[in-house]
A and B are shown apart, each in its own frame.
Chain A
Amino acid sequence: SQKIEQNSEALNIQEGKTATLTCNYTNYSPAYLQWYRQDPGRGPVFLLLIRENEKEKRKERLKVTFDTTLKQSLFHITASQPADSATYLCALDDNAGNMLTFGGGTRLMVKP
């Protein structure tokens, strides 16, 4: 069956360090992968989309990699700040462009 795995344990890092979150998937051949940020009690907010033919994409302090051979995406936040503390979700399309399936998310805590 199709599965998207994100580390369910919270990631705790010190302000200024680089946070790296992992998204692994099985039994998917997605055309693209997306990352979202979710704050408690709020809806997810779109951050980045990376296509299957792209290895890396950057946006300000964010960087996403996408390895379709390893079936893995890495999400990096450089120079992390306490305001980056949130849950980060990865999502994959069903390759028919119909819908996204979300991972369970990883909670990031950045300590000052």
Chain B
Amino acid sequence: DADVTQTPRNRITKTGKRIMLECSQTKGHDRMYWYRQDPGLGLRLIYYSFDVKDINKGEISDGYSVSRQAQAKFSLSLESAIPNQTALYFCATSTNYGYTFGSGTRLTVV
């Protein structure tokens, strides 16, 4: 099993719909992150969490929310999806020595 698992791998949704992307990790790390990646813009941080009771906004949190249900689970929600949220989304965990990323969720909002 992968250390960081993201579901779904691909999703097409309509404008205005609520959608949740899920992430679970088996590494036992406290720190978890959500990034989005767009061509030419690199990875940008949406939200991060350092433990179950800790949630912090990243660079581009508008239009997104997160929930840290347990140490191993960190979900990202788009309350009302819009086309410019079409992107590749990555979840990650970290220690002081590097990040471990999931395989990503490719989200298309039509």
- Report A-chain residues with C-beta under 8 Å of the C-beta of B97: 49
Residues of A near B43 (CB, < 8 A) are 44, 89, 102
Q: Are B92's CB and A43's CB within 8 A?
A: yes
Given the known A-B contacts A43-B90, A43-B92, A99-B58, are A104 and B101 also in contact in the complex, defined by CB atoms under 8 Å? Answer: no
Among A42, A98, A99, the most chain B Cβ lie within 10 Å of the Cβ of A99
User: Which among A8, A41, A99 is the interface contact of B40 at CB below 8 angstroms?
Assistant: A8
Q: DSSP class of B's interface residues: helix, strand, loop or mixed?
A: strand
Which interface residue of B48, B96, B101 has the most chain A CB atoms within 10 A?
Answer: B101
Measured as residues with beta carbon below 8 angstroms from the partner, the interface class of chain A is: 20 to 34
- Within B28-71, the residues touching A (CB, 8 Å) are 33, 35, 40-45, 48, 56, 58-59
Q: Does A100 contact B (CB under 8 A)?
A: yes
Say whether B101 contacts A99, CB under 8 Å.
Answer: no
Task: Using CB atoms and an 8 Å cutoff, list the residues of chain A in contact with chain B.
Answer: 8, 34, 36, 41-46, 49, 89, 91, 97-105
